[in-house]
Amino acid sequence: MIDYEVRGRVALITIDRPEASNTIDPGTAAGIEAALDRFEANTELWAGVLTGRGSVFSLGADLHSIVAGQGPELLTERGGFAGLVRRPRVKPLIAAVEGPALAGGCEMAMACDLVVASESSVFGLPDVKRSMIAASGGLFRLPRTVGTKVALEMILTGDSISAPRALELGLINQVAPNGTVLEAALNLAERIVGNAPIAVWESRRVAIAAVEFYDDLLWNETARAAGRVAASEDFSEGPRSWIEGRRPYWQGQ
């Protein structure tokens, strides 16, 4: 489910579930965490790239896993959702986004340090359409990045934005022609690893600290909100209606 390659001083981590739109099931979450462990432990590797196989970066959580009661297994002890979104890291990680990055997939991209996306990529947090919330960092990382008004529109409508719009808002770093995203992300990684690694890692640490000072509080608030949503009758209706291919029937309770 996870491919791990070494390209010079760069680790390439690929989510390999194209038949399931690279959604995250328990095995994939564990695989990403193991790949990040391997990447961080290797002193010869100075930067990493995370991507998805095929035409979709990731549509987030595997709703079949959630309906089967495996939701907690999509979170790892060290990294949270997908083994990534709360993972303490030292080295820069670049998301190479080919195609949609939605729900947890968008949150995974935001958890990376830099993002390169294809022209046809879209980003969004459609969780409310399934009676869920973006509990993997999106509710505070998105406003922090694009501003409160735009973030609230995306969060409350569940609508997505295009890669050019995401670039304009500062959500991503580069837009590359379709089919060239991985090459562009690896080129960006090579520009990073051409610099002194400790200087890069320490610079990253301070820059991240500047915007994540209150994250522990925000994670706690997110968990409380997710708990209230999960206790509602609408919570099970969301993923079930998606699996059954019908419109959800909301009760607001």
Judge whether residue 243 has pLDDT over 90: no
Is residue 139 within 8 Å of 222, Cβ to Cβ?
Answer: yes
Domain assignment present for residue 233? The answer is no
Domain assignment present for residue 236? The answer is no
CATH number, residue 105? 3.90.226.10
Scored b (16 or more CB within 10 A) or e, 79-113 reads: bbbbbbbbbebebbbbbbbbbbbbbbbbbbbbbbb
Question: Which pLDDT does position 67 carry in this prediction?
Answer: 77
- Rounded to an integer, the average pLDDT of 225-232 is 93
Judge whether residue 71 has pLDDT over 90: no
Sheet holding 101-102, edge to edge: 101-102, 122-124, 160-162
Question: Which pLDDT does position 38 carry in this prediction?
Answer: 98
Compute the distance between CA of residue 140 and CA of residue 124 in angstroms, rounded to an integer.
14
- Rounded to an integer, the average pLDDT of 102-131 is 97
Question: Which pLDDT does position 76 carry in this prediction?
Answer: 96
Compute the distance between CA of residue 132 and CA of residue 20 in angstroms, rounded to an integer.
20
Number of domains in the chain: 1
Judge whether residue 224 has pLDDT over 80: yes
Domain assignment present for residue 248? The answer is no
CA neighbor of 115 nearest in space, from 186, 38, 185: 185
- For 3, 48, 49, 71, the CA distances from 192, given in Å and listed in that order, are 22, 10, 12, 36
pLDDT in tens, 82-97: 999 999 999 999 999 9
- Rounded to an integer, the average pLDDT of 31-48 is 98
Domain assignment present for residue 217? The answer is no
Compute the distance between CA of residue 142 and CA of residue 154 in angstroms, rounded to an integer.
9
Helix, strand, or coil here: 93? strand
Domain assignment present for residue 29? The answer is yes
pLDDT > 90: percent of the chain? 87
CA neighbor of 95 nearest in space, from 196, 195, 163: 163
Question: Which pLDDT does position 179 carry in this prediction?
Answer: 96
Judge whether residue 39 has pLDDT over 90: yes
pTM confidence score: 0.94
- Rounded to an integer, the average pLDDT of 131-145 is 97
Domain assignment present for residue 164? The answer is yes
- Give the CA count within 13 Å in the CB-facing half-sphere of 108: 34
pLDDT in tens, 190-222: 999 999 999 999 999 999 999 998 999 999 999
Domain assignment present for residue 100? The answer is yes
Torsion of CA 49, 53, 57, 60, to 10 degrees: -110
Sort strands 47-52 and 93-97 into parallel, antiparallel or unpaired. Answer: parallel
- Give the CA count within 13 Å in the CB-facing half-sphere of 252: 0
Domain assignment present for residue 210? The answer is no
Question: Which pLDDT does position 70 carry in this prediction?
Answer: 86
Tracing tokens 């791990």 back to the chain, one arrives at 4
Which residue range is the domain that position 30 belongs to?
Answer: 2-178
Is residue 88 within 8 Å of 138, Cβ to Cβ?
Answer: no
